[in-house]
A = this chain, B = another copy of it.
């Protein structure tokens, strides 16, 4: 049986509940939902490699709202919606604006009369991004319920203050491919570790997303960071619960070496402490520019105290057989390449560089799969049709 057909069979064995739904947080979704998205992503990638079209829309818009800079996710979204048959329009907003209430409610409807998908990145301010996405969702619910929108646009979280599901599922698909299936992930140790960076204010959604997704697949997840670089507390609670349920484990340490010890996978990445991010949100709302400058300087100074949190060759030697898989959402801060000292040594990054490209390469298909599952009623049937010798 082909790899494609195996996935059709597995998909048909699941009971996902994705039709008509948004995709905002992995932890709101059942394991079957997550598997369905990832299986469809793999199948869409297979169709693409075989040059078989997977268009499902005759026309319609996909709208992206980027409240933070992005290149990878922007082009992943552009690619996904193009493949599905939609036109792309970007809603430009003043980057630092935190809009709520009437403006959000109205704008969400005004841009949606022919819109099938809205992708949103809003990851800069704790307590804001996910809240904003829920507001948009409620607004288009109202518009659709009242017959003002003929179709209800599907929301896709392209990174919020809480989760980065298109990234974490791409990370997981890489692990699935690398180790050889869902079952092979059970008992594998992954070190999600803070790492030093000379930059400031990186969002928390990647580590939060990783610890909450990998724990659901039976992995032994270790979160490591210096004292003070806390994540949103609930995300640790949920990760622990997921680990218990899946037969994996979740450990929280403050030592990079301890996390790397015997790890099968390492994910060293910088982020800003939640408390700093929250303070920043307040200062921004108050328009306190001096305060914002001060906090940045303070934070960069604090980072420097942990400059040894770097994924060096010595650190890699601690991992299982010295050759754990290195993962990263890119771009990484590479020592002696993008900065004097950063998250990862040049030689380590170079050795795993093409692996990180492959990891990133799943993202367009994960985004497309979220939309596909939300818009197509008979997902397996449609994929069988698209995968047949002459689909068009």
Q: A residues touching B (Cβ–Cβ < 8 Å)?
A: 45, 48-49, 51, 53, 55, 58-61, 63, 71-72, 74-76, 78-80, 82-83, 85, 87-89, 91, 101-103, 106-107, 109-111, 113-115, 142-143, 146, 148-150, 330-331, 334, 337-338, 353-354, 357-358, 360-361, 363-364, 392
Contact = CB atoms under 8 A, between A and B. Distances in A.
Given A59-B82, A63-B75, A113-B360, 18 more contacts: A48-B150, A55-B58, A55-B59, A58-B392, A61-B79, A71-B111, A75-B110, A79-B113, A79-B115, A82-B87, A82-B114, A83-B114, A88-B89, A101-B337, A102-B338, A103-B338, A106-B330, A106-B331
Which are the 9 A-B pairs with shortest beta-carbon distances?
A79-B114, A53-B58, A82-B87, A75-B111, A49-B150, A78-B89, A148-B357, A72-B110, A59-B83
A126 to B, nearest CB: 26
Q: Max chain B CB contacts within 10 Å: which of A71, A115, A146, A338? A: A71
Given A78-B61, A82-B60, A357-B109, A71 B89 contact: no
A106 to B, nearest CB: 6
A143 B354 CA distance: 8
Contact of A110 (B63, B80, B330): B330
A71 B104 CA distance: 12
Given A82-B61, A82-B114, A114-B48, A87 B88 contact: yes
A83 B115 CA distance: 11
Nearest to A109: B357
A96 to B, nearest CB: 17
Contact of A76 (B45, B109, B113, B330): B113
B113 A89 contact: no
Nearest to A368: B114
A107 B356 CA distance: 12
Nearest to A337: B102
Contacts of A79: 61, 113-115
Contacts of A80: 114
A106 B353 CA distance: 9
Nearest to A86: B82
Given A88-B87, A101-B337, A357-B148, A107 B71 contact: yes
A107 B360 CA distance: 11
A324 B227 CA distance: 63
Nearest to A93: B71
Contact of A357 (B143, B150, B357): B143
A114 B364 contact: yes
Contacts of A60: 82-83
21 contacts: A55-B59, A58-B392, A61-B82, A75-B110, A75-B115, A78-B89, A79-B114, A79-B115, A88-B89, A102-B337, A102-B338, A103-B338, A106-B330, A106-B331, A109-B360, A110-B330, A110-B360, A143-B357, A148-B358, A148-B361, A149-B361
